[in-house]
Structure 1
Amino acid sequence: MPFSQSGVLVPRSGDDPVVASAWERFLQHQPLVGEGVRSVVLASWQRSRSEAVDPARHAAPAAAAERVRQMQLQNRDLCDAARPALDSLRDILRECGTLIMLCDPGGTILQLNGETRARSVGEQVNLSTGGCWNEDVIGTNAIGTAIATGAPVQIHASEHFCLDVKRWTCAAAPVLDPLTRSLLGVVDVSGVKETFHGHTLGLVVTAARQIEGELARLDVTLHERLLARAIDHFIRYASDFVVLVDSRGRVLRSSGNAQAVMETHGVRLPLLQTGNQVPGLNLALSDAERGCQRAEWLRPEWLHLVKDHDATLGTMVVIPLRAQTNRTTLSPLTTATMSLGGNDPFGEIIGASEILAATKARARRIAPLDLPVLLLGETGAGKELFARALHRAGNRVEGPFVAVNCGALTRELLASELFGYNEGAFTGARRGGLRGKFEQADGGTLFLDEIGEMPLDMQPHLLRVLQDGIVVRLGDTRERHVSVRVIAATNRDLQNEIAARHFREDLYHRLCAVSLQLPPLRDRPGDIEAIIEHLNDKLARKYGCAPKRIEPAVYQALVSYRWPGNIRELQNAFEVMFALSEGSVIEVSLLPSSVAQVEGSIPIATSTASPAPISRLDDIERQAIVSAIASAHGNISMAARSLGISRSTLYVKLAAIQTQPGSSGSRA
C-alpha cells in the first residue's frame, strides 16, 4: 500500500529524509504522490507558496522593542494567565534544551524562556522575543501553522518551509477566548531537531488548556464585578437600549427595544449580541487604535466607562431612544418579574429545595412588617430578586421600587444619587437640580445593594435619614420628609467590618431590624434543573424562538458544578450557551471551560458514561496515570511523586499511552 502520513498527528523523526526529498520536488512543482508528507504539512507548504514566502529566507522578521512592549501591554491578561502554565513547562523541560514561548494572535513572540545555549541558537533565526512566526512571512512552522489551522500541531525538521529553520523541531497549540472562542495566542515549545519528542505536543496542549481555564476563571471574577458595578446603569437608562461590554470589547448583556434601535439609529444588532466582540471597545488598545477601529455608527457620547475604584472594568453603551420616557423608577426587570411571577410575589424565585422553601417562608413573614431588612448572602445569590419580592409582598406595593448600588459609585456620586442636589451645587449639576433616590422611593422601597462597600464617612448621613426620615439635598438647606422602607444587602460579614472599624455599629442595628440569610446555589443543587428550565423559557421569549433541547450531559455538568457566582453566574453561562447554540440543541461543546472542568488536565479522553470493566494490567496503569495527573492539576512532577516513579519514567509511560489505539493522546 502507498506510504502516507496524512492522518498522523505527531511526526516521526525517521521520516525526515523522505520529507526533505519531497520538499525539494515540491519547490520544483513536481507532483507528490505517496511521498509520506503529512496532509497538515503539505497544506501549509501550499499556503506558504501562495504567499510567495522565500524558502531561502534566513530568519523571521522582528518587531522593534517599543512595539513589542506595546503588544505585551495589549495582551497583558493573556500573559498573566499564562505565567503559571509556562513556569510549569519550564520546570518540566529544564534539561531538554528547548525554548518555551507565548505568542500573540499574529504569531509575534511575547514571552520566551529557556536555557542560554538554546536562546543563543534561536536568536540566529529570530526565534526570540519580538520575532514574527506567521506562515505568510516565514512559511510552515508550528506557531504559524497552529494559527492558520486553529489546531495544535507539531512540525519537525524538514517539514519547515524555509531552509534555515529546518534544523528546528517545534510543537504549538492555540489559546482560545473562553467566551468568543476566538484566537488569543499560541503556546510553543521549540528546540533543535535533536530534542524532538512526541510527548511535547501533549504538553503544549495541556498548557494551552490550563491557560484557557485560568482565563475563564478570571473572566468570571471580572464579569461579576462589572455586572455588579453596572446594574444601576441598567435601571437608570431603562428607557434606552443598553449594552454592557467588558474590557476586551466582548458583549456581556443588553437590554431594551432592539427594533427601535435599528429603526432610529440603523445599528446592526448582530454586532451587539452577547458574546460578540465590538470593534473599538477593547480597552487594552490605545485611544488612537480604538478610534481607528470604532464603527461610524458607534458615537463617542454613547460610551460610558464602568470603573471600580482605579480599575476600568468595561464600557456601557447607552443608545438613546427619545420616544420613550420614565427612566427613573422601574427597570425592565421589574416588569418581567411582575408578569412572570403571576400573583405570587416570590414566584420568580425558582426552586423547591427545603432550604430555599424555608428562606421564602421567612421572607413572606417579614414582608408585611414594614421594617428595615438586611439581606445576607454571597455574590449572585439573588439578593435583588428577594428585595423586589419583599417589596411586592409588602404594604408599599403601590409605591416605587428604587435600587442603588452603594459600591459602584464614588463618595461624591453616591451622595448626589442618594440625597439629590440643587441647581448650581457643583460644576456640571443639572439645571433644576435632581431628586435623589430617597425622594424617588418616597412611599415605596429603597434597595441599598452592597451596603458594606459604602464609604465610612458617608454612613453618618445615611444613618440620619434612616432615623429622622429627612433628606437635605446637596447645596440646599431645605428639609424634605420621606417615607421609605429600606432593604439593604451585602456579601460581607458586617460584624467583622464593625470590629475592623469599617462599618458603624449604630448603622448596622438601624439596617438590621430583621435579617434574611440567602442560601448559596451549591447548597441547593436540586433546584438547578428547575432554574435552567425557567431560564430556557425566558430566553426563548427574549430571542423570539422556541425553548432549546438540552443534552443530558449538559444538565449533568451544570448540576455538578459548584457555581461560586451562584444564580447570576448560572444565568450568565446559560444565556451565552443559549445564544451561541446554532440549532435547537444546547450541546456539551458549548459548556464554559470552567464548568466543563477541562483546565489543567492532560489531553486523554474521559467520558461521562459508565466505564468498561478493567481487566488488563496496562489499562489499570493507564487509569492510575490519568488519575494522578488530574489530581495534580497537570503538574507532572507532583503526579510522578504520587505514583512513586521518576518524572522521566512518567514521560515514557505518557508517550506510550498517547500512541495506544483509542487514546485521545493520539487525537489531541
Structure 2
Amino acid sequence: MVLAGDDLRTTVAAWERFAAGAETVQGVRPEILMSWYRCREEYAVDPHLDRAPPAAEAGSHSIDHDVVYAALGGQAASAAQELGGVDGVVTVADGDGRILGTWGSKYILDMAAESNLAPWSTWSEWASGTNGMGTALESHRPVLVRGPEHWCRGFQGWVCAGVAVRDAVTHDPLAVLNISCWQTPLSDAVLPWLGRVASLTEAKLRHRAHLSGTKLAAALTDFRAAPATAVAAVDLAGNVVLANSEAAALLGTPADQPAYSPTHRWTPQLPTLPRLVRRAVERARKDPSWTGSTLIHVPFLGVTIPVAVHPVLTGTQLIGMLLAFGAADGAANLDAPAPEPVTAAAAPAMPSRIVAQRDDRWVLLDPREIRFAEADHNTVWLSTDQGRLVAATRGLDRLEQQLEDKGFLRVHRRFLVNLGRVREVEHGFKGALFLATDSRTRETVPVARRHATQLKQALGL
C-alpha cells in the first residue's frame, strides 16, 4: 500500500502538472484525480500547504453523533492491537473533518503534530486538500491516499486510509476514522478493517432509524387534522415513512403502508419536497417549538398548494416532520412566520454541466447529451451521446435533484429519463410501458406503473 518506483515517479509528475494547471493527467487513480479537481477548482486549496488549519467552533450535535463517536473512539484505541502493531496515528474526526481525538505512540503523535494532525484541526478536503479523512468524507467507501496523492505537498510524507460513517437517513457523514503512517506502508488489513468498523457502526444507526420510523408513523396516527386532509410523515431527508390516501395521491407513493426502515422508505414525486424539508429541519433544530407553513408545487397537477409543517421530536431529538397538505393554518396550529414559498421557480440554479467519469478522466456533459440514467445501487450509469459513462454524483436521488429543472423525469426506481430524448413509447404486456430514446440501438427504459400517469401527462399523451 505504498507508491514506489515508476508508480511513484508517475504520480509525482502528474501532481506537478496538475498543480500547475493541466486539465488532465495520466497514471493517477480516478478517485484521487477527482479529489484533486475538487481541491483545485472548487475549494481552491493551496497545494503548498504544510499545516492543516485550526478547526472552527463546532455547533450542537445529535445523539447519533454521540453513538458514532463512542463506537469509533473505542475502535481507534484498540486499532494497533487489532491490526498487528501498526505504528501509525489513529484519528477520529467529525463530519466536517475536525479531529476530535488521536491515538498512537508519543513519537508518531509528535510527528503528526508538526502537520497539525492533532485535535482541533480541520482535515476536510476544502481545508486541507486530498487526504484520508477529507477524501473519505467525500466517498461512500474506504479510501487510501499515498504520499504524492495528497494534494498538499506538506502532507506527502504520509500514507493515510480513512472511512466515513454516514447517517442512515440523510447519508450525510457523521464522523470519519483514519489511520496515517509516516513514510511507511499501511498493512493490507487496514482497508478491510476500516470497512468492517464502518459497517458495524452504521448497523447501529440503521436500527435507531428504524425505531424513529415507528415513532414517526405513530405520530401521524395521533395527529389531529380535519377529515380528508392529506397528511404524511417524512424523515429528515424528505423520504415518506407513511402517507394517508389523500397525501399518497399527491406524493406518488403507496397509501397507508408504513416504511419504518430507512432503506424501504418511499421517494416522493415532488421535486422540491426534499429541499422544503431540509429548510424546515434547519429551523426546527434552532427552535424545537417551531412550526410553519409554505407553498409547494405539484408538477403533474400543475398547481401550487399550501402545506403545514410540524416537527416530530423524541425527547430533544428531531426525527422527522408531519406535513398537512392544503392546510396552511389551523390544522397544524402554526404560530411562527412561514418560510418563503418553495415553488419550481424558486429552485436554486443547478450546474449547467454534469460530471461523468471515463477511465482516469472525467467528462463534462451538457444535460441534453444524456438520454437516461440508470442506478446500480449507489453507482449511476449515464447513457449519453459520448457513450455509457459513470456519473460522478453518487445515488440516483442526488442526480435527480441536479437535473430536476432540466427536463428529466423519474420513471422507475432505477431510471431517470430525459423527456426531450424520448422517441417512442412502447406498450408491453398488461399495460407495461417502455420508452425508446435511441431508434438506432433500440435501447429502452421501463416505466413503473405508478409513474405511468405522470409520464403521459408530461409527454402530452
- How much has 1:208 moved relative to structure 2? 1.6
CA distance in 1, matches of 2:244, 2:3: 55
- In the TM superposition, what whole-angstrom CA distance separates every residue of 1:249-270 from its partner, at most 9, and x where no partner exists? 76422336349989xxxx9944
Tell me which amino acid in the other structure corresponds to 1:281.
Answer: V
Contact 2:76 2:91 in 1 (8 A): no
- In the TM superposition, what whole-angstrom CA distance separates every residue of 1:191-250 from its partner, at most 9, and x where no partner exists? 3232522322222122221221111011112322343344211x6555323232446776
2:233 is the alignment partner of 1:244 = yes
2:118 is the alignment partner of 1:128 = yes
1:280 is matched with 280
2:16 is the alignment partner of 1:24 = yes
Which of 145, 163, 168 is the equivalent residue of 1:178? 168
Tell me which amino acid in the other structure corresponds to 2:39.
Answer: S
- Report the TM-score when normalising by structure 2: 0.54
Question: More displaced, 45-54 or 243-252?
Answer: 243-252
CA distance in 2, matches of 1:223, 1:19: 47
1:253 is matched with 242
Change (3 A) 1:307 1:239: same
Contact 2:306 2:325 in 1 (8 A): no
CA distance in 2, matches of 1:105, 1:225: 26
Tell me which amino acid in the other structure corresponds to 2:15.
Answer: W
1:200 is matched with 190
2:96 is matched with 106
Correspondence list, 1:612-631, <5 A:
none
CA distance in 2, matches of 1:30, 1:230: 55
2:187 is the alignment partner of 1:218 = no
2:33 is matched with 42
Which of 147, 153, 158 is the equivalent residue of 2:143? 153
CA distance in 1, matches of 2:71, 2:195: 14
Q: Secondary structure at the match of 2:86?
A: coil
1:630 is matched with none
CA distance in 2, matches of 1:286, 1:113: 34
Change (3 A) 1:261 1:201: closer
Which of 62, 65, 83 is the equivalent residue of 1:78? 65
Which structure carries more strand by proportion?
Answer: 2
Correspondence list, 1:309-348, <5 A:
313-321=319-327
- How much has 1:54 moved relative to structure 2? 1.5
- Report the TM-score when normalising by structure 1: 0.39
- Name which one, 1 or 2, has greater alpha-carbon Rg: 1
- How much has 1:31 moved relative to structure 2? 8.9
Contact 1:251 1:276 in 2 (8 A): no
1:377 is matched with none
CA distance in 2, matches of 1:295, 1:124: 51
Tell me which amino acid in the other structure corresponds to 2:324.
Answer: V
Contact 1:283 1:314 in 2 (8 A): no
Tell me which amino acid in the other structure corresponds to 2:159.
Answer: T
2:125 is the alignment partner of 1:138 = no
Tell me which amino acid in the other structure corresponds to 2:108.
Answer: A
Q: Secondary structure at the match of 1:58?
A: coil
Contact 2:52 2:115 in 1 (8 A): yes
Unaligned runs of 5+ in 2: 252-267, 297-304, 332-396, 398-409, 416-461
CA distance in 1, matches of 2:164, 2:412: 29
2:46 is the alignment partner of 1:57 = no
Which structure carries more helix by proportion?
Answer: 1
Change (3 A) 1:79 1:322: closer
Q: Secondary structure at the match of 1:194?
A: coil
- In the TM superposition, what whole-angstrom CA distance separates every residue of 1:526-580 from its partner, at most 9, and x where no partner exists? xxxxxxxxxxxxxxxxxxxxxxxxxxxxxxxxxxxxxxxxxxxxxxxxxx9xxxx
Change (3 A) 1:307 1:42: closer
Contact 2:132 2:161 in 1 (8 A): yes
CA distance in 1, matches of 2:193, 2:117: 20
CA distance in 1, matches of 2:279, 2:39: 29
Contact 2:142 2:161 in 1 (8 A): yes
Aligned-pair RMSD on alpha carbons? 4.6
- How much has 1:32 moved relative to structure 2? 7.9
- How much has 1:96 moved relative to structure 2? 2.4
Tell me which amino acid in the other structure corresponds to 2:40.
Answer: R
Contact 2:232 2:323 in 1 (8 A): yes
Contact 1:238 1:256 in 2 (8 A): no
Tell me which amino acid in the other structure corresponds to 1:55.
Answer: P
- In the TM superposition, what whole-angstrom CA distance separates every residue of 1:482-524 from its partner, at most 9, and x where no partner exists? xxxxxxxxxxxxxxxxxxxxxxxxxxxxxxxxxxxxxxxxxxx
Correspondence list, 1:228-243, <5 A:
228-233=218-223, 236-243=225-232
Change (3 A) 1:134 1:207: same
- How much has 1:308 moved relative to structure 2? 5.1
Contact 1:60 1:125 in 2 (8 A): yes
Contact 2:48 2:152 in 1 (8 A): yes
Change (3 A) 1:301 1:62: farther
Change (3 A) 1:313 1:139: closer
Tell me which amino acid in the other structure corresponds to 2:65.
Answer: L
Contact 1:156 1:193 in 2 (8 A): no
Correspondence list, 1:290-369, <5 A:
297=295, 302-306=308-312, 313-321=319-327
Tell me which amino acid in the other structure corresponds to 1:213.
Answer: A
Correspondence list, 1:444-455, <5 A:
none
Which of 79, 84, 91 is the equivalent residue of 2:78? 91
CA distance in 2, matches of 1:244, 1:30: 49
Change (3 A) 1:584 1:28: closer
Change (3 A) 1:286 1:61: farther
Q: Secondary structure at the match of 1:280?
A: helix
Contact 1:156 1:196 in 2 (8 A): no
Tell me which amino acid in the other structure corresponds to 1:317.
Answer: L
Correspondence list, 1:408-427, <5 A:
none
Which of 217, 220, 244 is the equivalent residue of 1:227? 217
CA distance in 1, matches of 2:154, 2:36: 15
Q: Secondary structure at the match of 1:146?
A: helix
Identity in percent: 25
2:177 is the alignment partner of 1:187 = yes
- How much has 1:93 moved relative to structure 2? 1.8
- In the TM superposition, what whole-angstrom CA distance separates every residue of 1:353-405 from its partner, at most 9, and x where no partner exists? xxxxxxxxxxxxxxxxxxxxxxxxxxxxxxxxxxxxxxxxxxxxxxxxxxxxx
Tell me which amino acid in the other structure corresponds to 1:318.
Answer: A
CA distance in 1, matches of 2:306, 2:23: 56
Correspondence list, 1:424-463, <5 A:
none
CA distance in 2, matches of 1:271, 1:215: 27
- In the TM superposition, what whole-angstrom CA distance separates every residue of 1:27-83 from its partner, at most 9, and x where no partner exists? 44579876x43333233333333243222212222224xx22x2xx32541341353
2:427 is matched with none
Correspondence list, 1:549-564, <5 A:
none
Change (3 A) 1:147 1:277: farther
Change (3 A) 1:285 1:113: farther
1:600 is matched with none
Q: Secondary structure at the match of 2:161?
A: strand
